[in-house]
Amino acid sequence: MNRFVACLTCSLVLLCPVLLQAEEQPNAETALQRLKEGNARFAADQPAAKHRDAKRRAEVAKGQRPFAVILACADSRVAPELIFDQGLGDMLVVRVAGNVSNPEIIGSIEFGATSLKAPLIVVLGHSQCGAVAAAVDGKPLPSNLAKVIERIHIGKDLPKEKEAALDAAIKANVLHHAKELTKQSKVLEEFVAGQRVRIVVGVYSLRTGEVDWLEMPKAKEQKR
């Protein structure tokens, strides 16, 4: 890519984050494979821990080209760069309690997909999620925290047993917000339909360190 060609997205030319780094993006399948391999290294306690040194810092100071966008919970035990064994500039990460979506969050994801051309979006839930547990409990919460919990979607007909109910609610919530991305964003809907972007869903286990990848509904739009 010629970095001196004006960028159609932002017209900043020399300062444009899209043009500053010439490296090509992988396709969605390769991007997902990178995450799966990174998670396997992390779960096996053998991280490569690449892209965390001064050389990488200098490289990405010129511009960013993350190959994946991650929407994850704010939980301190679910740090995406660690659990996928990635480093600086590899992933654009948006974090909020309960990995919920709203216009600001979807806007940040759109930035990753459109301006930075990341081919893969991951919506990542996790086991023992306190935010989802609060939504399942349904007890009143103070001030702004209540607004976050209101956005959590626990689904219907939860199992009676407490742990099974939480696991089912976590899955329902992560699938719901993955669907919201294309429902609430015209550009993401077009990108998925045109196979420029793929959205995948996973649930990270705090105990094993492994991500369980879930099937997304509407598989025909997710062929890439």
When asked if residue 124 is in the footprint of Zn ion (CB under 5 A), the reply is no
Shortest Cβ 128–Zn ion spacing (Å): 8
When asked if residue 75 is in the footprint of Zn ion (CB under 5 A), the reply is yes
CA angle in degrees (0–180, nearest 5) for 108-81-74: 60
When asked if residue 192 is in the footprint of Zn ion (CB under 5 A), the reply is no
Binding segment for Zn ion (CB under 5 A), chosen from 22-30, 67-75, 102-110, 184-192, is 67-75
Cα gap 19→7, rounded to integer Å: 7
**What angle do helix axes 130-137 and 143-150 make, rounded to 10 degrees?**
90
Shortest Cβ 97–Zn ion spacing (Å): 6
Shortest Cβ 36–Zn ion spacing (Å): 22
Cα gap 93→12, rounded to integer Å: 24
Cα gap 192→184, rounded to integer Å: 13
Cα-based distances in Å from 119 to 11, 127, 138, 198: 22, 26, 37, 6
Binding segment for Zn ion (CB under 5 A), chosen from 72-80, 82-90, 164-172, 178-186, is 72-80
Q: Which residue has the tokens 């991007």?
A: 31
Binding segment for Zn ion (CB under 5 A), chosen from 84-92, 126-134, 160-168, 176-184, is 126-134
Closest CA to 23 of 116, 96, 111: 116
Q: Which residue has the tokens 């990848």?
A: 213
Binding segment for Zn ion (CB under 5 A), chosen from 9-17, 51-59, 130-138, 157-165, is 130-138
Shortest Cβ 35–Zn ion spacing (Å): 19
When asked if residue 73 is in the footprint of Zn ion (CB under 5 A), the reply is yes
When asked if residue 167 is in the footprint of Zn ion (CB under 5 A), the reply is no
What is the contact surface with Zn ion in residues (CB under 5 A)? 73, 75, 129, 131
